[in-house]
Structure 1
Amino acid sequence: MLLARFVAKWNRLNALVPQARLWHNTGMRQKFSVLLALCLSILLFSLSDARADFYNVGFRTLGQWDPENGLRLDVNIWYPSVRPARDIQYGPWEISAARGGKPVDGRFPLILLSHDTAGSRFSYHDTAAWLAACGFVVAAPTHPGDNMNNMDQLLTWEQLENRVRELSGLIAFLLSDAETEPSIDHERIGALGFGAGGTAVLLLGGALPDCEGWKDYCAQAGKHDMYCNIWAQNRMDGLCRSLPLTRSPADTRVKAVAAVAPGFGMLFGRDSFRWFYPPLLLVAAAGDSLNKVALHARKIYECTGKKARWLVLDKADAGALMAPCPPAMAEELPELCRSVSEEDRKAIHKSMFAALSDFFLHYLGSGKNLPHIPAPPDLSPPLPPKQEPAPAPPEKRKR
């Protein structure tokens, strides 16, 4: 991207000086060629260590109050900014961004980022910053009742239903906020989720869950699978009592969906994607022992008819997808924070970043490939047939 910026500036310079082609001063041309070669050498030398920042990254936080449920939704916003980044300390997390930095003029695509159950709005801050640098506004909430500090909703229908409702509500909130709305293109909105967040964004895109696959899931997965202990099975049985749905969870404002290491693969069959219209990127974490690839990400890929983009991240597990943990968290949660080496984490993130930016830029980067999303289906159960009143008995004849 830095090279592209340099070439663009060089072309603009040539446009401003059309007489350059007519230069007859050989010495001047030679000096300019040497200067150009030097600039290119410095640029190319720095590319190996430079981030692909086309834009500086701005950062701010928002709080959304849900009076209906009495819950507060805390949201991090990353966006293209004119101000350079600085190190910012938020609790144990240290991120690099321009806090409250002035946004770049113009409207950019919005990406909703839904964290995994063991995460928070900070857990994928490097992924959010990368996408903001590529020209997106990224909004990452902490999901109440399903985060690293509170897992009360784990393996319940509320876990997924609330996430979908919070993401949909967040769109309306951001589009009504005086500071964020001017930076967002209302027509170019996408969703990115990790783990349970990946499942939620599939529902947001129009996937319909059922429980046909749950019947024999544990026979395939084994008793040590996280869904198959007695406590988990009871919760999953309760989840299944909420299905099938009578209303589609789809939000037609969402035009592209990326699910990374999604869970709940047993809730999806071929009919689940019958009314799923956004383009889809599925990313599998090859080392994920919680949501095993064959039973979750790959199963979902098969259910889409292999129509989604597909990527497998070698050596990756749930922890490797997160940003590097701050030291205090790494000491407290080594199994999550140190599940892979730093070298492997960098390689995993490099592949993941490239796939995400390529996917979202292709479908949301302009109006060229923007899909049309039809209205969701009507899932209302049919009304029982109207019963005709019984005919009146014939009147007895009087004699």
Structure 2
Amino acid sequence: MKTTWVGAEFRSFDLDGIPNCVGVHMRVLFLVLTLLGAGTSAEADPRPFRAGVTRIAVQDLVPFDALVAYPTDVTEVHFQDGPHTIAASRDAPIASGAHFPVVLFSHGGGGTIKAGGTPAPYADLLTSLAREGFIVVAPFHPGSRLPREALEDRPRQIHKALDAILADPRFATHADPNRLGMMGFSYGGAVTLIIAGAVPSLAHLAVYCRNRTDDPMACDGVPTDGSLANAVGRKSPYTLAVKALVLLEPWGSLFDRTGLTSLDMPTLLYRAEGSALQADGNILALAAALPHPPRQETVPGGHFIFFGPCLPALETDAPAVCKDAPGIDRAAVHRRINVEIGDFLRRNL
């Protein structure tokens, strides 16, 4: 954002002391209930899919691409996308015979406001969700002149990307727009909140950032001279009926309590223990202000722990986003959050 997871032990019941006919009936009852429970659990388990990915072109003021990760039955063939390894098969046919919930994703800003950015660093998470039966739509957000403009551009781009998927013959009959969730990292966390109906407050942000030299990720470039004192936020015209949110180290200081009052959907909120994005003014302040108390999870590592594990060459070129403190196992963190996020979205979509 800087301009950031059957059985029944009948002997536990003392059935031997019950008259024989009653005991037999109770044993049968317990057995039936156990089998029914096992059947319910089996039906709730997701079908084991593999991950497919494709890129689609999206028309907008500035055209852009979106990465789509989706369930397929085709064997995965990993490939390279620049410095990133994508564990999925390109352009594989989508799995048939089902309607899949849709999850939108907005990547972080991280110095890419003007240049645009890519969801590729998060491919490990996106493809993990595809294997669990989700269609994941992640725009390559093009550049905006200013961070303030990106707050208008990126929600529109998310909306356009969803429209494109629902119109694409490969996905139109498989995507269920009534089961819609959204995830976002850092700046993308703010975009996620805006899509869900939150109203950003530049005036609140300016007050937070005044003399706040310890939170450059949230505050660099934010005018604190009073010029934003009368800035009035407005609800985005591109809000969507999202039913669940996943926020990864979100830029929360952009919102005050009033601007969050309409967000009553389940939310999973992550923060990183060693993050340079100050938790008190962002993640924790957001958790306290949301009308529906979020489920909060903490992971070790810094702000960029939510990037997937980096190849050695990328670690050399981008140590700030790839290098973790000694003892931090980024791959283990991702195995954990992939399970948690998949379970959360499956329960709420």
Task: Indicate the residue corresponding to 2:257 in structure 1.
Answer: 270
TM-superposed deviation, 1:253: 3.0
Task: Indicate the residue corresponding to 2:133 in structure 1.
Answer: 135
Match of 2:174 among 179, 183, 188: 183
Residue 329 of structure 2 corresponds to residue 347 of structure 1: no
Residue 119 of structure 2 corresponds to residue 125 of structure 1: no
Residue 104 of structure 2 corresponds to residue 112 of structure 1: yes
TM-superposed deviation, 1:180: 1.8
- Tell me which structure has the larger Cα radius of gyration: 1
TM-superposed deviation, 1:339: 2.8
Task: Indicate the residue corresponding to 2:233 in structure 1.
Answer: 244
Residue 50 of structure 2 corresponds to residue 56 of structure 1: yes
* Cα contact 2:302–2:324 (8 A) shared by 1: yes
Alignment CA distance shift 1:242-1:177 (3 Å):
farther
The one-letter code matched in structure 2 to 1:277 is D
d(CA) in 2 for partners of 1:236, 1:339: 36
d(CA) in 1 for partners of 2:179, 2:282: 28
The one-letter code matched in structure 2 to 1:103 is I
After superposition, give the CA deviation of every residue in 1:112-132 in whole Å (9 maximum; x if it has no partner).
111111351211000001101
TM-superposed deviation, 1:273: 1.8
TM-superposed deviation, 1:82: 0.9
**How much identity, in percent, do the aligned residues show?**
27
Task: Indicate the residue corresponding to 1:284 in structure 2.
Answer: 271
TM-superposed deviation, 1:299: 0.6
Alignment CA distance shift 1:277-1:339 (3 Å):
same
After superposition, give the CA deviation of every residue in 1:220-264 in whole Å (9 maximum; x if it has no partner).
6326634445xx13399777765321x44462432211111001x
* Cα contact 1:207–1:276 (8 A) shared by 2: yes
SS at match of 1:272: helix
Provide the TM-score with structure 2 as the length reference.
0.78
Residue 70 of structure 2 corresponds to residue 79 of structure 1: yes
Q: Residues 1-399 of structure 1: matches in 2 within 5 Å?
A: 54-66=48-60, 69=61, 71-105=62-96, 106-118=98-110, 120-145=118-143, 152-153=145-146, 156-219=147-210, 221-222=212-213, 225-228=216-219, 232-234=221-223, 243-245=232-234, 247-249=235-237, 251-263=239-251, 265-289=252-276, 291-305=277-291, 307-313=293-299, 315-340=300-325, 344-364=329-349
The one-letter code matched in structure 2 to 1:115 is H
* Cα contact 1:157–1:242 (8 A) shared by 2: no
d(CA) in 1 for partners of 2:94, 2:138: 18
d(CA) in 2 for partners of 1:344, 1:358: 22
Per mean C-alpha deviation after superposition, the further-off stretch among 137-146 and 78-87 is: 137-146
The one-letter code matched in structure 1 to 2:76 is A
d(CA) in 2 for partners of 1:95, 1:362: 26
Alignment CA distance shift 1:242-1:74 (3 Å):
farther
TM-superposed deviation, 1:145: 1.0
d(CA) in 1 for partners of 2:236, 2:125: 29
TM-superposed deviation, 1:91: 2.3
d(CA) in 2 for partners of 1:238, 1:142: 32
d(CA) in 2 for partners of 1:237, 1:179: 51
TM-superposed deviation, 1:346: 2.0
The one-letter code matched in structure 1 to 2:270 is V
d(CA) in 2 for partners of 1:236, 1:82: 57
RMSD: 2.7
d(CA) in 2 for partners of 1:110, 1:198: 17
* Cα contact 2:218–2:253 (8 A) shared by 1: no
Provide the TM-score with structure 1 as the length reference.
0.69
After superposition, give the CA deviation of every residue in 1:277-308 in whole Å (9 maximum; x if it has no partner).
3322211122110x211110111111114612
d(CA) in 1 for partners of 2:338, 2:162: 23
* Cα contact 2:94–2:170 (8 A) shared by 1: no
* Cα contact 2:307–2:321 (8 A) shared by 1: no
d(CA) in 2 for partners of 1:161, 1:327: 36
After superposition, give the CA deviation of every residue in 1:300-352 in whole Å (9 maximum; x if it has no partner).
11111461221121x23232111122333222111211134685212321332
